[in-house]
Amino acid sequence: MNSLPKLNFPAINLRATRNGNRTLVFDSVRQIYVVLTPEEWVRRHLVEYLIGHCGAALRSIVEEYPVEINSMPQRADVVVLNTESQPLLLAECKSTDVNLDRRETLSEVFAQATRYNSMVKARYIIITNGLRHFCYEATESGYVSLSAFPRLG
């Protein structure tokens, strides 16, 4: 785990184990060990941030949320449900190698997230590579950029 970059999130504690040459970390949402990929490193930090700093309840978080686009099964990385079990926030996590400072890259990831959200209909969208975070709120006229993560609880 030492080779993974420091992220622009508070430090977290991960339960980790080895399986051959792979590191597995405990996913408290799905209650299973998953392979620690660079994207999973970002997702684990985002989930802990949503719980610890944005007020999301662990039980309201769904990972790998199924989304069907043009009859093709897709999965949103993280969806937070409201108290009525309706999607409130959709998050797309990328590895730190995905340069969100490049306008073209951010546009592509934003398009992916909004495509998913056209089906999910969450109020908020988060795009993060762990280093840069972009938060948006859906309005009747489109998406408005937010200056901070939304409060969810």
Looking at residue 92, its pLDDT comes to 97
Q: What is the DSSP string of 40-68?
A: HHHHHHHHHHHHHTT---GGGEEEEEEEE
Give the domain CATH number at 118.
3.90.1570
152 found inside a domain: no
Looking at residue 132, its pLDDT comes to 97
Given the structure tokens 């926030």, which residue do they identify?
A: 89
Over residues 16-41, mean pLDDT = 94
59 found inside a domain: yes
7 found inside a domain: no
Closest among 89, 87, 143, 141 to 111, alpha carbons compared: 143
The tokens for 32 are: 């299973």
5 found inside a domain: no
11 found inside a domain: no
Domain that holds residue 61: 16-146
103 found inside a domain: yes
Give the tens place of pLDDT for each residue, 82-107: 999 999 999 999 999 999 999 999 99
Q: Pick the more confident residue, 2 or 108.
A: 108
2 found inside a domain: no
pTM value is 0.94
3 found inside a domain: no
Over residues 57-74, mean pLDDT = 94
Give the tens place of pLDDT for each residue, 108-131: 999 999 999 999 999 999 999 999
The tokens for 43 are: 């997702």
Looking at residue 2, its pLDDT comes to 54
Q: Which residues does residue 144 pair with via DSSP β-bridges, in sequence order?
A: 137
Looking at residue 3, its pLDDT comes to 79
Please state, for a pLDDT cut of 70, what percent of the chain lies above it.
99
Q: What is the mean pLDDT of the chain?
A: 95
The number of folded domains in the chain is 1
* Band (147; pLDDT cuts 50, 70, 90): very high
Indicate if the pLDDT at residue 1 is higher than 80. no
Query: Side by side, which strands form the sheet with 22-27?
Result: 16-19, 22-27, 32-35
